[in-house]
Amino acid sequence: MDGISKVVQRISSIEQRFVNKGPGKSEFSTVLAGVQQPELSVAVNSDKQNILKILNFAAEKYGVDPKLAVAVAQTESGLSPEVVSSAGAVGVMQLMPGTAKELGVRNINDARENIDAGVRYLKQMLGTFNGDTVKAIAAYNAGPQAVINYNGVPPYAETKSYVAKVMSLYR
Per-residue pLDDT at 24: 46
The pLDDT of residue 132 is above 60 = yes
* Residue 37: per-residue pLDDT: 44
Q: Where are the domains of the chain?
A: 1-36, 43-170
Give pLDDT, residue 88.
95
CATH 3.40.50.460 holds for 43-170: no
- Give the active site residues: 76
Residue 21's pLDDT band, with cuts at 50, 70 and 90, is very low
Q: List, for residues 59-87, the tens digit of each pLDDT value.
A: 999 999 999 999 999 999 999 999 999 99
Q: pTM here? A: 0.75
90 phi and psi angles, rounded to 5 deg? -125, 140
Q: Is 136 exposed, middle or buried (0-12, 13-18, 19+ CB in 10 A)?
A: buried
